[in-house]
Each structure stands twice: as structure tokens, then as C-alpha cells.
């Protein structure tokens, strides 16, 4: 905790166009913390290189992710927005926490198993120790609250365990963070395979709606969304496709499940899919417009990066000074 103000930290990889799952489950909710917390929102490019990157594309996507943060409502004057690799303390503390993370703990991480299967030719040490670097990202700023999706909950639990272990050995050093999960929209599923999470790396272009998709693309994808044969818009077990569409519709309209079911009582899936597409496209329109404006001003984005990195480094140095002293490193 920085003084009396609690701290929020979160990071997003610059790994391509972000989905409505990233938006609804994470980024859209970030701004709610801005007025009452000290907030650090990071483009985690160090994490991105656990998978081979084309340098020019990684650089471009880093700018784009920062622009998306702001287009989704994060005011650079109220939030510390920065790029991970521009604050070297992340890598330094990442190595230190590697030495406080057990091999067995890392072996149990489900994302390591999943990514190893997808990238069998590049199962590198960074992919294995990724959760220790994520713990460093969080603990570096004495974070109280981390907005996380269900798939990152395991990593957050490990960050808590590492903080407790370090504190037990060296005295009170790190704040032990809590997770924040938005229970309304915590998991947006694939439009083509509604039992699987929507993923920006899905090879099926119709399965994923991206934040920057055009309205025509959004409408086309929702029209092709997998449903069921009942032709009744209601939330129920076994209706994975419709449940997912209701969740998305609610997220963009603010309506309850009961209101959605009443609205589409007696109407077919075609009407419902079109309404979901319209609500999504209209909800994302201001984001797309603001993203286009920000992306055209590279100098402004670089000034946000620099100011954010300077401020983040100031707070990171405070933590690292304490860590180095407790470890016995000579200043």
C-alpha cells in the first residue's frame, strides 16, 4: 500500500488485437478503480517474448495496446500507464522471485502445460518461470488488488504464496495481493465453440470478436454464432451458445437475465443474434474511434510511455531498495 491509498495493478500482453473477452472481462472494468486507488496498468512485453515474436510487429502492437488502454477509458492523468520492459526492476525482481518459487509450483501451472502443447518447438525456461515474473509485476508496486480473469487466478495464488514465503523469511516486505473478479462477465466464450473461452489466438476467425472489428465483421460473426435447436432465448444448463450470447448482450446493455428473456420471448435466434451484434458494435464504436485518433499520434503515445515508466520506476525503486537490503545485496 502506498501510504493510505490502496494499489491496483494489471497487465495486458501486446500479442495482437484484443477480444471482447479482454474488454468485458478486464479492461472495461479498469477505469472503475481510477478515482479511489493508485493504479498501474502495464503493457507486459517481457511476457510476450516467451513466444517467438517478429520485432517490428511486437513494437507496433505495444503502441496499439497502450492506445487501446486509453481508448477503453483509462485516462493517462489518473492512471500510471507504462511498458514493462521500460522499467528494469520487473526483470530484476523476477529473477529474485525465481529463487523463492518452487519447481513443483511452476510445474503445476496449467497455462505452462497449455502453452507447451501449443509451442512444442519452443518450450523455453521463460515460459516455465513466467508466473514468477508475473508475481514480480504485482509485488513490485505493493499491490492490494489485481483484476484477474479465471484463467489467471492460479498465477495470482502463486504470487500470494511467494509474497508470504518471502515475508516469512525476511520480515514484512511485500503486500499480499487480493484478486478482483467481475462475476457478471468473467468469462466470454468462443462463438464457434461455446464451451471454450474466447481466445485471440483462435485459428477460426468467426469464433472471436475483436475490439477493433468493423460493424460488418461483428454482425457477420454473431449471425454465425453456434446456438442450439430449442429456438428459445433463455439462460439454462446445456444451452452454452445462448448463455454466452446472453452474457455478452447483458454486458453491453446493462440488462438482467430476466429482462433479456422477456425482451426475446417468442422471438427466434435470428432476431436475438442481430440484437447482440448491434449492441456489441455500438458499444465498441467509441472505442474504435478513439483508438484511431490516438494511434495517429505516435509522439503523444511515446510521451505517455515515458511519463508512465518514470512514475512506475519511482515506486519500483522503493520496493527494490527494501528487497535488496533484506537480501544482503551491497548498494
Residues designated as active site = 115, 197, 200
If phi > 0 it is left, if psi is from -120 to 50 it is alpha, else beta; for residue 73 that is: left
Distance CA 62, CA 310 (A): 17
Q: What's the Cα-to-Cα distance from 267 to each of 222, 231, 262, 281, rounded to whole Å?
A: 16, 8, 10, 21
C-alpha cell at 35: 478515482
Asked if residues 105 and 161 have their Cβ atoms less than 8 Å apart, the reply is yes
Residues 6+ away with beta carbon under 8 Å from 3: none
Asked if residues 277 and 222 have their Cβ atoms less than 8 Å apart, the reply is yes
**Torsion of the alpha carbons at 230, 233, 235 and 240, rounded to the nearest 10:** 60
DSSP 85-148: GGSTHHHHHHHHHHTTS-HHHHHT-HHHHHHHHHTTT---HHHHHHHHHHHHHHHTTT-SEEE-
C-alpha cell at 83: 511498458
Distance CA 45, CA 72 (A): 19
Residue reference for cell 508496486 = 141
Amino acid at each position: 500500500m502506498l501510504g493510505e491509498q490502496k494499489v491496483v495493478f494489471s497487465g495486458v500482453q501486446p500479442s495482437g488485437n484484443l477480444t471482447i473477452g479482454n474488454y468485458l472481462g478486464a479492461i472495461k472494468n479498469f477505469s472503475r478503480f481510477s478515482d479511489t486507488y493508485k493504479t498501474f496498468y502495464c503493457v507486459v512485453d517481457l511476457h510476450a517474448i516467451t513466444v517467438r515474436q517478429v520485432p517490428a510487429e511486437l513494437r507496433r502492437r505495444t503502441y496499439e495496446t497502450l492506445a487501446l488502454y486509453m481508448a477503453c477509458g483509462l485516462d493517462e492523468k489518473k492512471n500510471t500507464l507504462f511498458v514493462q520492459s521500460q522499467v528494469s526492476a520487473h526483470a530484476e525482481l523476477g529473477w529474485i522471485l525465481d529463487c523463492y518459487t518452487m519447481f513443483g509450483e511452476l510445474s503445476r501451472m496449467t497455462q505452462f502445460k497449455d502453452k507447451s502443447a501449443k509451442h512444442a518447438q519452443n518450450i523455453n525456461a521463460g515460459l516455465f518461470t513466467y508466473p514468477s515474473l508475473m508475481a514480480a509485476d504485482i509485488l513490485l508496486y505493493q499491490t492490494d488488488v489485481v483484476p484477474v480473469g479465471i484463467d489467471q487466478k492460479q498465477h495470482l495464488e502463486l504470487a500470494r504464496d511467494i509474497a508470504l514465503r518471502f515475508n516469512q523469511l525476511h520480515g514484512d516486505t511485500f503486500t499480499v495481493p487480493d484478486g478482483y473478479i467481475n462475476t457478471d462477465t468473467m468469462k466470454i466464450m468462443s462463438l464457434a465453440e461455446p464451451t471454450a473461452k474466447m481466445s485471440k489466438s483462435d485459428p477460426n476467425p468467426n469464433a472471436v470478436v475483436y475490439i477493433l472489428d468493423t460493424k460488418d465483421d461483428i454482425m457477420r460473426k454473431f449471425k454465425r454464432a453456434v446456438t442450439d435447436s430449442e429456438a428459445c432465448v433463455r439462460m439454462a444448463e446445456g444451452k452454452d451458445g445462448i448463455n454466452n450470447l446472453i452474457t455478452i448482450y447483458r454486458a453491453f446493455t446493462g440488462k438482467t437475465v430476466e429482462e433479456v428473456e422477456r425482451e426475446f420471448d417468442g422471438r427466434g435466434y435470428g432476431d436475438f443474434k442481430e440484437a447482440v451484434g448491434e449492441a456489441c458494435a455500438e458499444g465498441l464504436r467509441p472505442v474504435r474511434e478513439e483508438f484511431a485518433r490516438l494511434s495517429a499520434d505516435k509522439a503523444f503515445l511515446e510521451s505517455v510511455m515515458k511519463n508512465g515508466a518514470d512514475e512506475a520506476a519511482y515506486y519500483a525503486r522503493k520496493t527494490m531498495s527494501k528487497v535488496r537490503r533484506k537480501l544482503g545485496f551491497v548498494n
